[in-house]
Amino acid sequence: MTGTGRTGGRGRPRRRDFLAMAGLGGAAVLLSGCGVGSAAPRGALRAAFGQPVTDLDPYNAATAVDEASLIVKRLVFDTLVRREGEELAPGLATDWRREGDTRWVFTLRRGVRFHDGSEVTAGDVVACLKHTQQVASAQTPLWATVTGVQAPDDHTVVFTTDGPLGSLPVNLTLLFIVPARLVADPEQKRSPVGSGPFRVTDFTPSTSVELARFDDYWGGRAELPAVSMPYIAETSTAITALRNGDVDLLWPVPPDQLPEVTGVSGVTVETVPSWTYYFNWFNCSRKPFDNPDVRRALCQAVNVPQIVEALFGRGGKQMRAPIPETVAGFAAQQPWSYDPDGARRLLEQAGLGRGFSTSMMWFDATGPLSRELAQALISAWADIGVTVEPQSIEKAMWLERLNTLDWDMNLQTNTVTTGDAAFTIGRLYTSEANRLGYANKELDAVLARAAGAPEGAERDALYGDACGTIWSDAVGLFPVTLVTGYGRAKELTGFTPAPNNQPDLAVVGRR
Amino acid sequence: MGAFLAKRLAQAVVVAFGALTLVFLIVRVVPGDPAKLIVGPDASAEQLESVRADFGLDDPLWRQYVDHLAGIVRGDLGDSWRLGGSALSNTLDRFPATLSLSLAALVLTVAVGIPLGMLCARRPGKLLDLVVSTGSLAGQAIPSFWLGIVLILIFARQLDWLPATVDGSPAAVLLPAVTLSLPFIGWLARLVRSSALEEGGKDYARTARAKGVGEGTIQYVHVGRNIAIPVVTVLGLLMGNFIANAVIIEVVFSWPGIGSLMVDAITNRDYAVVEAAILTITLAYIVLNLLVDVVYFVIDPRLTPEDA
């Protein structure tokens, strides 16, 4: 042996020790790396939704109408009224009645317990409503006309409004009930206490939620002992996880990915028209969109059925009103006929025979195929001489410009969170809301009457009128309702696809 | 050694301060109002003002900066508006996952890159050498997010050998670690190859050959020790690269680390989390560099602090 390269007797063992330690460390690291992320408990339903759950506090403004959070909240908390398909059903309230125009009385179910063992009382409901009214959020308009809430006894809640509010029972499907002492507790963000069929056992924001069955649930035990909800951001990773059986349920499957999961062994695909839809608003306060004929020209220039079919296939459905057809208050309108020549004539009458230049803003994450949809619309408008500058921007910037009406055209998805026209039409299209520079006093009057009308033919007729005005005034182009694709393991039982993307996972079992 | 470490730590403080200042300014210069993201488009002007006041966003920038620095001194980087709770604890909760992934990638890179480089050095210009040279260029040219998706499609979807996402199983680390390490294996192999060739031509190697020592022993025992310094330097840099590159890889593989957290925080203007994440990564870089400096003395005791 040569001594060349050695650094002396003291150096050699140290180096060996170091290398040995490095080797051991590397092996240990590989093993510890393998332990990252928790495996779902045995028998758990592994359900992956397309957006992350960031927060579980039912009163957090940022997630007040956030679909991902709502999915979990509906499993952890109860509401007075629930949705079962298109109908409203008793939740914590067994029945309710309207007394006069401005008073609603709800009777609470007896013997319902929160996850911490305390009983649900009317006092909890009062505290929850008062707290949610104090929080500035997307829910604020729903509660603006509720002027009072009282608990004459432990099982009766009385709401008072400053005018007729027909949508109160629907709005209450969004009021999650927690113990009164916890309404403002920051711990509710991570470890909330509710009275729903599941309780939270582990939650890593934006990553995963682990739920365990609450055996004392008043509506009967959930079918499966646990629900594990990982968030998988990358579409191809999520599709692979479903195909390989790493997750039992995946939704929404993007329209262009439906063929990837259709016909796969062990996987069933179910679709349902959702309450989420695309619209392209015109800024009615800006020239030339202050002229309704210009807006109508742009609607006529687009071959909507062709675009919907080519881009979305069975993942989308052409719209026939400014709200999806499964939403309460929908009234079908005559679709704009594809007529580029007619569109050019309208532009000529508006003094824009040579066309004009404008812009369209959107953020890519607004919905599936948003960029492709924008490109298709822009191409169609180019054919009638309208040059549109595409402005794909970040969500934060988009929101900034949306609120200040700093845009010509705005492409986005929107969800009718309550499944009722009041949430979308009544909130977005009033002159006071001024969301798209559109003011129409007649429409305001119709919407005010619709908001106060009880469920029934009169209310439907009023929202039908509103649909007609918005559609014929062409305040926007409403091309497509998204059809939610649910990919699920065939062995699951009891699953019903939900149009609001919030399926009831408590009734899902396994063969 | 004590004075050397103190000097390095002082430099580290300056670097961390610079990084924090830059990040503070950049996230606030980028358009987008966190208050609007918090309360949404339906909020009134009063509601927006109230949220801005709650998070100190209505203060002048200099005041926010001073408060921010004071908070850091106290170990408080503020609360995350999106996730709730301390931004630093949210970040530190996720850092072990990133560290594990990065270390796994480093182990892979070393385990494959060094022997490959040595083999190429023994037969320069032969087929393996050409393949590694070309492959290393290709490896560095391929975007890592694309590589990750392709690996998922092949090994998870088509072959069903490995899970596509984190499922708690030991195999879950393999695909993201391979995605992180692949572009750098060829790079390390080329470094080892060129260093080994250079060292192999030096007097001590020639003397060993003259004494009849086998080529394998010369390469792996004598030359191997003498190329350790540049290799360790590169490994320190690599580890830093892995932590930074994990930002994209974690999103592709749903790896619950600091990278996916940071992407989400940037998109949603969660300033406190962005700052906490950048601070954590910066400190990790600094500690790694410090470790590399210390390792120099372990590898070659002849070195003095001035050499480092």
Alpha helices in A429-456 (DSSP H): 441-452
Q: Name which of A111-120, A257-266, A498-507, B248-257 the model is least confident about.
A: B248-257
Give the mean model confidence (pLDDT) for residues A13-22: 44
* Rounded to 5°, angle at Cα A238 from B265 and A415: 65
Closest C-alpha among A266, A26, A250, A493 to residue B164: A250
Q: Name which of A35-44, A96-105, B129-138 the model is least confident about.
A: A35-44
String of DSSP letters for A68-135: HHHHHHHHH-B-SEEEETTEEEESSEEEEEE-SSSEEEEEEPTT-B-TTSPBP-HHHHHHHHHHHHHS
| A405 phi and psi angles, rounded to 5 deg | 55, 35
pLDDT band at residue A508, thresholds of 50, 70 and 90?
Answer: very high
The conformation of residue A309, written as its DSSP 8-state character, comes to: H
Instruction: Give the per-residue SS3 of A367-432.
Output: CCCHHHHHHHHHHHHHCCCEEEEEEECCHHHHHHHHHCCCCCEEEEEEECCCCEHHHHHHHHCCCC
Q: Which chain B residues are Cβ-neighbours of A237 within 8 angstroms?
A: 149, 152, 156, 164-165, 252-254
Q: For position A302, what pLDDT does the model report?
A: 97
What's the CA gap between A412 and B240, in Å, rounded? Answer: 39
Cβ atoms of A427 and A433 within 8 Å: the answer is yes
pLDDT band at residue A347, thresholds of 50, 70 and 90?
Answer: very high
pLDDT tens digit string along A252-278? 999 889 999 999 999 999 999 999 999
Cβ atoms of A128 and A108 within 8 Å: the answer is no
String of DSSP letters for A130-191: HHHHHS-STTHHHHTTEEEEEEEETTEEEEEESS--TTHHHHGGG--B--GGGTT-GGGGTS
Do the Cβ atoms of A136 and B164 come within 8 Å?
no
**Is residue A213 predicted with pLDDT exceeding 90?**
yes
Class at the top of the CATH hierarchy for domain A76-189: alpha beta
Phi-psi region of A313 (alpha: psi -120 to 50; beta: other; left: phi over 0): left
CA-based nearest distance A243→chain B, Å: 7
Report yes or no: B125 at the A interface, CB cutoff 8 Å.
Answer: no
Q: Which chain B residues are Cβ-neighbours of A136 within 8 angstroms?
A: 39, 43-44, 47-48, 50-51
Closest C-alpha among A493, A44, A51, A48 to residue A242: A48
Give the mean model confidence (pLDDT) for residues A292-296: 97
**Which has the higher per-residue pLDDT, A45 or A21?**
A45
Mutate to test the interface with B, among A234, A391, A424 (most CBs of B within 10 A): A234
Report yes or no: B40 at the A interface, CB cutoff 8 Å.
Answer: yes
Cβ atoms of A363 and A395 within 8 Å: the answer is yes
Cβ atoms of A203 and A38 within 8 Å: the answer is no
**Is residue A371 predicted with pLDDT exceeding 90?**
yes
Question: Structure pTM?
Answer: 0.81
**Is residue A18 predicted with pLDDT exceeding 50?**
no
Q: Where are the domains of chain A?
A: 15-25+274-483, 76-189
* Rounded to 5°, angle at Cα A412 from A406 and A413: 150
pLDDT band at residue A27, thresholds of 50, 70 and 90?
Answer: low
Cβ atoms of B237 and B171 within 8 Å: the answer is no
Structure tokens at B58: 């209505």
**Is residue A11 predicted with pLDDT exceeding 90?**
no
pLDDT band at residue B45, thresholds of 50, 70 and 90?
Answer: confident
Q: How far is CA B79 from the centre of its chain?
A: 25
Strands A409-415 and A356-362: parallel
Q: Which of B168, B213, B223 sits opposite A37 (nearest CB)?
A: B168
Give the position of tokens 């390390």.
Answer: B188
Instruction: Give the total residue count for chain B.
Output: 308
Cβ atoms of B114 and B231 within 8 Å: the answer is yes
Strands A480-489 and A267-282: antiparallel
What was the ipTM of the complex prediction? 0.76
pLDDT band at residue A37, thresholds of 50, 70 and 90?
Answer: low
- From residue B131, alpha-carbon distances to A167, A208, A368, B124, B151 in Å are 70, 42, 41, 11, 20
- Is the peptide bond preceding residue B60 cis, with omega within 30 degrees of 0? no
Q: Which of A5, A30, A205 sits opposite B173 (nearest CB)?
A: A30
Cβ atoms of A93 and A106 within 8 Å: the answer is yes
pLDDT band at residue A16, thresholds of 50, 70 and 90?
Answer: very low
Q: Which of B39, B84, B153 sits opposite A236 (nearest CB)?
A: B153
Q: For position A309, what pLDDT does the model report?
A: 95
The conformation of residue A328, written as its DSSP 8-state character, comes to: B
Cβ atoms of A249 and A306 within 8 Å: the answer is no
Q: Which chain B residues are Cβ-neighbours of A34 within 8 angstroms?
A: 169-173
Cβ atoms of A408 and A377 within 8 Å: the answer is no
Cβ atoms of A208 and A230 within 8 Å: the answer is yes
pLDDT tens digit string along A414-470? 999 888 898 899 889 999 889 999 999 999 999 999 988 877 788 899 999 999 999
Domains A15-25+274-483 and A76-189 agree in fold = no
pLDDT tens digit string along A101-157? 889 999 999 999 999 999 999 999 999 999 988 887 778 778 888 999 999 999 999
CA-based nearest distance A476→chain B, Å: 18
Most confident range, picked from A489-503, B77-91, B204-218: A489-503
Give the mean model confidence (pLDDT) for residues A331-354: 95
| Mean pLDDT computed over every residue of chain B | 84
Tell me chain B's radius of gyration from C-alpha atoms. Answer: 24
Do the Cβ atoms of A55 and B83 come within 8 Å?
yes
Q: Which residue of B has its CA nearest to A24?
A: B107
Q: For position A475, what pLDDT does the model report?
A: 97
CA-based nearest distance B14→chain A, Å: 30
Q: Name which of A177-181, A216-220, A374-378, B35-39 the model is least confident about.
A: B35-39
Phi-psi region of A175 (alpha: psi -120 to 50; beta: other; left: phi over 0): beta
Structure tokens at B202: 């030096």
Q: Which chain B residues are Cβ-neighbours of A33 within 8 angstroms?
A: 100-101, 103-104, 173, 177
3-class DSSP state of A210: strand
Do the Cβ atoms of B267 and A138 come within 8 Å?
no
Do the Cβ atoms of A36 and B173 come within 8 Å?
yes
Most confident range, picked from A47-51, B223-227, B304-308: A47-51
| B87 phi and psi angles, rounded to 5 deg | -65, -40
Give the mean model confidence (pLDDT) for residues A309-332: 94
pLDDT tens digit string along A79-92? 999 988 778 899 99
Report yes or no: A42 at the B interface, CB cutoff 8 Å.
Answer: no
Structure tokens at A279: 């619209």
Structurally, at CATH architecture level, domain A15-25+274-483 sits in: Roll (3.10)
